[in-house]
Amino acid sequence: MATVLRSLCCLIILHVSNSPLAFSQEENQFVYHGFSQANLHLGGIAEIHRNGLLQLTNLSKERTGSAFYRFPLNFNTTSSGAISSLSFSTTFVFAMVPQEPNMGGHGMAFAISPSMDFAHATSNQYLGLFNLPNNGLAANHILAIELDSVKNPEFEDIDGNHVGVDVNSLKSIQSAPATYLSDKEGRNISLELVSGNPMQLWIDYDEAEKLVNVTLAPARMSKPNRTLLSTPINLSQIILGHMYVGFTSATGYPLASDHYILGWSFNRSGQAQSFDVSSLPRLPPRRKRKEKPGLMTITSLILAAVVLVTIIGAAYIIRRKKYEEIREDWEMEYGPHRFSYKNLYKATKGFKDEQLLGAGGFGKVYRGVISSSNLQIAVKKVSHDSKQGMKEFVAEIISLGRLRHRNLVQLLGYCRRRGELFLVYDYMPNGSLDKFLYSNGRPSLNWLTRFRIRGVASGLLYLHEEWEQVVLHRDIKASNVLLDAEYNGRLGDFGLARLCDHGTDPHTTHVVGTVGYLAPELTRTGKATTCTDVFAFGAFMLEMACGRRPIELQGQPENVILVDWVFEYWRKGAILDASDPRLEGNYVVEEMILVLKLGLLCSHANPAARPSMRQVMQVLDGDANLPDVPYDTASLCTFSNYNASDFLLSLPSSFGQRSAPSMSSTDSILKEGR
């Protein structure tokens, strides 16, 4: 009996130890025409269609997907039975189908990695491959070839349509615009990654040459002779004993594409096998493809057209007037960012009042839906009679449209008519934060949602320090923080304050901003800096914590200014008493104290004493301790010097309504035309 049991055990052990290891030794090569039977490990939203098509990501925004060969490959060249070189060859056919032309993103990558778990990798420019903390770390041990359809300045991307070789970081060590050398035509031909057409990529590494070669071509073509990239890399410094191979992918916001893999072959012992293209799974039919009309229909259509043309002609002239816009030569290069007035008119149902989302310092905002794509938009309608500075302003708007951050409201484009400028933004379904904070009837925002101001801080940090140039927001306030579908705060209206500068005499300085958020030095000098943004952010933080506006004119005189009010509580050693009573004590005490103290620090009358946004982020993330808020008579003096009269002196005549109006009053400045 015992012997039988023992041999049974042996059998089981043998079997168990045999399967994955023995497998991985044999499995140094595979080829998949479609993935129905494939040994893949899927992560994120990746899925395999019934026809075998592998879809890494779909049009859902800010999502990631991954697909890795389930078994680790043995790259330990000294272990017994292993292949004694690191050389490999792989090729795959992929397709990136954008939501609509110009709106594809962000990209995908082939990766060799010690792990196939990419759950912590983030979307957008991180391609589902890395995240902010691990990007660039040598401990990643990842070689990736990226197919990137968005230009990201922070990774020094060369353009929005490139192939790059990445080692441990999204900052490619070498990259090239997507092109191939046609052997037949003898010239370089550009490919658009997000054309939706299937393409093939070859990646070959030769251990002796220590070169990673990358070659791209349309799927129907054989491998071109010229490689797109030939990058010297010593893989033995990157590759560990066992590595996984596969793909990661990410969509962004608002940019998204369907990312597909149709076929994939991988080989450690020779050239990766090529595909029989006809046996690859088909892509789903293209969206919005119009059927070709038959001959009869065409004839009758032409006849009908001839009859109708005069009627239409008359109607056209009338309509043309209705949809007339201004389009100048210098705007040519902004083509993709230009929305037609007609589309905006239709999207907003003719700018009807029922579509009105709000009216702010810069004009009215309407909600709309672009019918062809179901894209929800918010259209800001700004009046302007001045032509002066419009060119510079539009250039700046377009450049701001390249800013991408999950805590900024994405600017999609613009349109111009006589006397009117339209700015098109992503629609934020939950409106602005102040509406929730000073809720009439609505339940008050809970602490969890309020503490997401961390996100807003990271958006502001991006504007100040992480983009290619410093962008000042100049009008941070609760009503400029919008909430997306998941209640993440996103900063809106950034950079718009420049509109005032462009429309006016450059020699006069206009203070732009909102009363209660204006740093004291700003009202004196009129010069906006990152410090004045930090001041406004401090006022905003206190507003979140206390549920009070930065200035309450109806309160007791000593309660007028929120900063002073909180400072008084803090001096008495009872800072928590300043917290919003509507929270009924439901908050994390440490977080509340942190936000209140940090808010005070940012609102310091002395700009030099305020932290930078990077320091604010570090404190909010718990990576740095809160610096000591100066707590002596001198600083008290500073705080109380900074009193109501500073503000009242600078109030515009319209001030006095409860809702602290914008001082910028863009409309009138633009209307005056100088």
**Rounded to whole angstroms, what are the CA distances from 44 to 47, 55, 147, 209, 486?**
9, 11, 19, 36, 18
Q: Is 486 in the site for ligand NAG (CB under 6 A)?
A: no
Q: Pick the binder of ligand NAG from 267, 458, 504, 530 (CB under 6 A).
A: 267
- The residue (of 140 and 579) whose beta carbon lies closer to ligand NAG is 140
Cα–Cα dist 537/445, whole Å = 19
Q: Pick the binder of ligand NAG from 38, 59, 369, 583 (CB under 6 A).
A: 59
Residue 491, classed as helix, strand or coil, is strand
**Minimum separation from the CB atom of position 371 to ligand NAG (A):** 18
Q: Is 84 in the site for ligand NAG (CB under 6 A)?
A: no
Within 490-549, the residues that bind ligand NAG by CB under 6 A are none
Which stretch in 98-106, 268-276, 287-295, 480-488 sits in contact with ligand NAG by CB under 6 A?
268-276
**Minimum separation from the CB atom of position 156 to ligand NAG (A):** 18
Cα–Cα dist 638/642, whole Å = 6
**Minimum separation from the CB atom of position 408 to ligand NAG (A):** 23
- The residue (of 78 and 625) whose beta carbon lies closer to ligand NAG is 78
Q: Are strands 363-370 and 356-360 parallel, antiparallel or unpaired?
A: antiparallel
Listed in sequence order, the residues at least 6 apart from 530 whose beta carbon sits closer than 8 Å to its beta carbon are 464, 470, 472, 612, 613
Within 269-328, the residues that bind ligand NAG by CB under 6 A are 269-273
Q: Within 13 Å and on the Cβ side, how many CA atoms surround 67?
A: 22
Q: Are strands 40-44 and 88-98 parallel, antiparallel or unpaired?
A: unpaired
CB-based contact 313:291 (threshold 8 Å): no
Q: Pick the binder of ligand NAG from 62, 204, 434, 493 (CB under 6 A).
A: 204
Q: Is 190 in the site for ligand NAG (CB under 6 A)?
A: no
Cα–Cα dist 311/472, whole Å = 52
Within 10 Å of residue 54's Cβ, how many Cβ atoms?
Answer: 27
**Minimum separation from the CB atom of position 61 to ligand NAG (A):** 9
Q: Which residues pair with 29 in a beta bridge?
A: 267
The answer to the question of whether 671 is labelled as a binding residue is no
Q: Pick the binder of ligand NAG from 249, 265, 479, 480 (CB under 6 A).
A: 265
**Minimum separation from the CB atom of position 469 to ligand NAG (A):** 29
Cα–Cα dist 76/207, whole Å = 13
Phi then psi dihedrals of residue 546, to 5 deg: -100, -15
**Minimum separation from the CB atom of position 348 to ligand NAG (A):** 24
Which stretch in 94-102, 226-234, 323-331, 419-427 sits in contact with ligand NAG by CB under 6 A?
226-234
Q: Is 392 in the site for ligand NAG (CB under 6 A)?
A: no
Taking each continuous run of H as one helix and of E as one strand, the counts in the chain are 16, 25
- The residue (of 186 and 557) whose beta carbon lies closer to ligand NAG is 186
CB-based contact 533:472 (threshold 8 Å): yes
Which stretch in 141-149, 224-232, 416-424, 523-531 sits in contact with ligand NAG by CB under 6 A?
224-232
Residue identified by tokens 């909180």 is: 566
CB-based contact 547:582 (threshold 8 Å): yes
Which stretch in 15-23, 233-241, 511-519, 576-584 sits in contact with ligand NAG by CB under 6 A?
233-241
Q: Pick the binder of ligand NAG from 17, 18, 79, 297 (CB under 6 A).
A: 79
Q: Pick the binder of ligand NAG from 117, 209, 324, 486 (CB under 6 A).
A: 209
- The residue (of 76 and 509) whose beta carbon lies closer to ligand NAG is 76
Q: What single-letter DSSP state applies at residue 465?
A: I
Q: Is 227 in the site for ligand NAG (CB under 6 A)?
A: yes
**Minimum separation from the CB atom of position 71 to ligand NAG (A):** 15
Torsion, Cα 403 408 412 417, to 10 degrees, reads -100
CB-based contact 63:45 (threshold 8 Å): yes
Residue identified by tokens 């015992």 is: 2
Taking CB atoms, the residue at the shortest distance from ligand NAG is 270
Q: Pick the binder of ligand NAG from 15, 50, 187, 507 (CB under 6 A).
A: 187
Which stretch in 8-16, 71-79, 106-114, 427-435 sits in contact with ligand NAG by CB under 6 A?
71-79
Q: Is 657 in the site for ligand NAG (CB under 6 A)?
A: no
Q: Is 440 in the site for ligand NAG (CB under 6 A)?
A: no
Residue 659, classed as helix, strand or coil, is coil
Q: Respond yes or no: is residue 475 known to be catalytic.
A: yes
Q: Are strands 229-232 and 54-57 parallel, antiparallel or unpaired?
A: unpaired
Q: Pick the binder of ligand NAG from 114, 218, 241, 661 (CB under 6 A).
A: 241
| Torsion sign over Cα 386, 389, 395, 401 | negative
- The residue (of 46 and 347) whose beta carbon lies closer to ligand NAG is 46
**Minimum separation from the CB atom of position 121 to ligand NAG (A):** 17
**Minimum separation from the CB atom of position 346 to ligand NAG (A):** 24
Cα–Cα dist 499/507, whole Å = 15
Listed in sequence order, the residues at least 6 apart from 650 whose beta carbon sits closer than 8 Å to its beta carbon are 511, 515, 518, 523, 663
- The residue (of 80 and 586) whose beta carbon lies closer to ligand NAG is 80
User: Which amino acid, 578?
Assistant: A
Q: Pick the binder of ligand NAG from 188, 300, 371, 373 (CB under 6 A).
A: 188
The one catalytic residue among 475, 493, 501, 580: 475
Residue 237, classed as helix, strand or coil, is helix
Q: Is 100 in the site for ligand NAG (CB under 6 A)?
A: no
Within 10 Å of residue 190's Cβ, how many Cβ atoms?
Answer: 9
Burial class (CB in 10 A: 0-12, 13-18, 19+), 76: middle
- The residue (of 19 and 188) whose beta carbon lies closer to ligand NAG is 188
Q: Is 149 in the site for ligand NAG (CB under 6 A)?
A: no
Burial class (CB in 10 A: 0-12, 13-18, 19+), 292: exposed
CB-based contact 549:657 (threshold 8 Å): no
Which stretch in 25-33, 475-483, 492-500, 599-607 sits in contact with ligand NAG by CB under 6 A?
25-33
**Minimum separation from the CB atom of position 306 to ligand NAG (A):** 43
| Torsion sign over Cα 655, 659, 660, 661 | negative
Catalytic residues: 475
Known binding-site residue numbers = 381
Known binding-site residue numbers for ATP = 381
* Interface ranges with ligand NAG (CB under 6 A): 29-31, 45, 47, 58-60, 76, 78-79, 181, 183, 186-188, 204, 206, 209-211, 213, 222, 225, 227, 230, 234, 236-237, 240-241, 265, 267, 269-273
